[in-house]
Amino acid sequence: MDALGAYTADRAAALSGVPKSTIHWWARHDVLIPSVSATKVMLWSYSDLMGLRVIYWLRQRKTTTKGVEVARTSMPAVRRALKELRELNLSLWDRDRPSVLVDASGHLLVKHPAGVHDLSGQVVSEDLLDLIAPFSTSEGTRGPDLIAPRVDLRIVPGKLSGSPHVVHTRLETRALAALATDGFDVPGIHRLYPYVTVLQIEQALELEKQLEDNLIKRAA
């Protein structure tokens, strides 16, 4: 998978749903080193966002939908899942894109309309984590869908460095949120950007509020 997108620690944490302190610890201890830049200003890629979710989910104790307790996945298995994720080559932002999933053993899987397959093409059916879908943590943070965080919002790794934006535009959600912080209400923002709808502006502000809340909860 190409290392597209470029996210600072704040954005990587807010979008992945994984605490900022945790992703820094993983970077320092070579669990997941940011693939865009690992130097003074660290930058995580789009695939890194999914990698963060992989590590967090696999290293937690879990209960399956059948009530079975599942222990934490071993670090060798976690590293294997990360390796498979790096090697996966999918157009994840296509309209009919497949979902990328991981099972409790750290095996990567792909969900197509025909069903869920492992990377060898074998059909599987068990408790899985969708790495694209909304992601919640035990700390109470909520990472959004990594392709369509809202109905009219998109994240495209090769567009705007992977920044969330209004669909079919180059208008980033954080630009709209900055205007709201400066005192503009929704009608005022709409007058500045008449080519987007009021509903789209509201969705953008709602998403950025969710991401801001994630960082506040992590700092608490």
Domain-located, residue 91 = no
Number of domains within the chain: 1
Q: How far apart are CA 186 and CA 205, in angstroms?
A: 9
Beta strand residue intervals within the chain, DSSP E: 62-63, 69-70, 99-103, 108-112, 115-118, 128-130, 135-136, 142-143, 153-154, 165-166
Structural domain of residue 181, as residue ranges?
Answer: 153-219
In the prediction, which pLDDT does 73 show? 84
Q: What is the reported pTM?
A: 0.84
Domain-located, residue 214 = yes
Q: Which long-range contacts (CB under 8 A, 24 or more apart) does 88-95 make?
A: 88/1, 88/47, 88/119, 89/1, 90/1, 92/1, 92/46, 92/132, 92/147, 92/157, 93/147, 93/154, 93/155, 93/156, 93/157, 93/158
Domain-located, residue 77 = no
In the prediction, which pLDDT does 168 show? 96
What tens-digit pLDDT sequence spans the chain (220 residues)? 445 789 999 999 999 999 999 999 999 999 999 999 998 889 999 989 999 999 998 888 876 656 667 778 888 888 888 887 877 765 554 545 557 778 777 777 777 666 676 666 665 555 677 888 899 998 899 999 999 999 999 999 889 999 999 999 999 999 999 999 999 999 999 999 999 999 999 999 999 999 999 998 755 5
- The CATH number covering residue 194 comes to 1.10.10.10
Domain-located, residue 104 = no
For the stretch 97-127, pLDDT in tens is: 557 778 777 777 777 666 676 666 665 555 6
Domain-located, residue 169 = yes
Domain-located, residue 205 = yes
Domain-located, residue 102 = no
Domain-located, residue 132 = no
